[in-house]
Amino acid sequence: MNYIIRDTYLQRIIDRMHNGEVKVITGPRRCGKSWLLSHIFTDYLLSIGVSEKQIIYLSFDIDDDQNQTDLLNSSALKEYLYSRITDNSQTYYVMLDEVQEVEGFERIVNGLVAKGNIDVYITGSNSHYLSSDINTIFRGRGDEIHVWPFTFKEFCIGRSESEQTLWQEYYTYGGMPALRNKMTAEQKNAYLQRIWKKTYLSDIIERHRIKNTEALEALADVLSSSVGSLNNPNKISNTINTLMHIKVSSETIGEYMTYFEEAFLFEGVKRYDIKGRKYFDSIKKYYATDIGLRNARLNFRQQEITHIMENIIYNELRVRGYLVDVGVVEKRKMSNGKQESFRYEVDFIATNGMKKFYIQSAYRMDDPEKAETESRSLCNIEDSFSKIIIHGDDIATYIDEKGITHIGLMRFLKEEDAIL
């Protein structure tokens, strides 16, 4: 085996084997979902004694030259599958890649799951057909495993360059798995540009029959250039109309933003009032699923390391299974003889079950004023959950006199238990 075994995702699949549910592997196209099933999980099954006859893998990816286009008809697919499932005393592992391309796939999958000896795994790159409707489509018997591009830790596997060299490459080109086979900057750039145009945009345009493609591309540019900034459809449509001179309504922009989220290219993150314990409905922050795709969309012009670092931290938290909000903490104090209200931003509120962390991303904290600014919002949170500042510098982990944990970025990215 000469590939990266994505242990986190493999273990999540193993933990769900034979649970009577459809294992739904979601994520952006080209992030490694197909490889996870066709190689990593398949090799695991073979290693525990499952025979090749018990493993049925079919790809419906239009960009895969091995795809089963002759089985896109649901009747043909059903007939083929049951011709392979011949022994009721054995367990069969059915893996259907990009199954949303098959019209009526829901009935076939539900029928397979109803059989006691068939364990079903499917992938899809559009949440409208899968993630958002899993419980409805699969009658409450769907279990989602979301896959992301390589984390920095995965990216470093098998590489001998210095940590700093690898970090610079990662925050420039991101973690799409195919980039490991691209040796030059020119090849990496060309690949990222190509999948933006030929895979992501073309898929959204075709799927949703979009006519105003100029506005769609402008939206991709705006979201990419403003990662970590507060945005909403009205604000973005004003920018596109005024600065780019492209006529588009806020309603249309809202629809297009949903399409990008459904394709897993961006995630919108809600803003949460920590003291008031309520969400702000009108505005979100948006982060790119892969920082390399974001950079390529902007032709590598906007390389603001502070925003890039924040985006990468967000993605890392999501990969680790955290639900993430951006926080606001309000503080009332006297100013010029009057009581005034001040709002302080918290970069991330990360929650996973009973665990909760308040996290600030700080690329530089090399003077007292900057240190005070980064810690102020955390100091105004009155509950007892952990408060953390992640430094861009390589520092030794310590807890300051205010009870705030300080940790270096590299340790955070490489050690999953660094913030426990």
Token look-up 């892969």 returns 290
pLDDT digits (tens, 9 = 90+) for 314-331: 999 999 999 999 999 988
Locate tokens 């949903």: which residue?
258
The pLDDT assigned to 171 comes to 97
Among candidate residues 109, 126, 146, the one where a domain is terminated: 146
Tokens 């999948």 belong to which residue?
195
342 and 330 in one domain?
A: yes
Residue 341: the pLDDT is 80
pLDDT bin (cut points 50, 70, 90) of residue 129 is: low
More confident call, 370 vs 35: 35
Contact 344, 329 (CB under 8 A): yes
Region 409-419: mean pLDDT is 92
Q: What is the pLDDT of residue 66?
A: 61
Q: What pLDDT is stored for residue 67 in this prediction?
A: 60
Q: In terms of domains, do 136 and 158 share one?
A: no
pTM: 0.93
Q: Which three-class secondary structure state does DSSP give residue 252?
A: helix
Residue 2 maps to a domain: no
Residues in the chain: 420
Q: Do residues 180 and 120 share a domain?
A: no
Instruction: Assess whether pLDDT exceeds 80 at residue 207.
Output: yes
Q: Is the pLDDT of residue 55 over 70?
A: yes
- Position 130 pLDDT exceeds 70: no
Q: Do 225 and 285 fall within a single domain?
A: yes
> Which range of residues forms the domain containing residue 365?
149-420
The verdict on residue 234 lying in a domain is yes
Residues with Cβ within 8 Å of 251's Cβ and at least 6 positions away in sequence, in order, are 233
Question: What is d(CA 22, CA 172) in angstroms, rounded to the nearest whole number?
Answer: 36
Residue 411 located in a structural domain? yes
Instruction: Tell me how far apart the alpha carbons of residues 351 and 69 are, in angstroms, rounded to a whole number.
Output: 42
Q: How many domains does the chain have?
A: 2
What are φ and ψ of residue 419, in 5° steps?
Answer: -110, 15
- State whether 211 and 240 are in the same domain: yes
Cα gap 307→74, rounded to integer Å:
45
- Is 1 part of a structural domain of the chain? no
Residue 154 lies in a domain: yes
Q: Percentage of the chain surpassing pLDDT 70?
A: 95
How many Cα atoms are found within 13 Å in the side-chain-facing hemisphere of 348?
30
Yes or no: say if 119 and 94 are a contact pair by the CB < 8 Å rule. yes
Alpha-helix residue ranges (DSSP H) falling in 274-325: 291-297, 305-319
Q: For residue 124, give the CATH number of its domain.
A: 3.40.50.300
Q: What's the pLDDT band for 135 if we cut at 50, 70, 90?
A: low
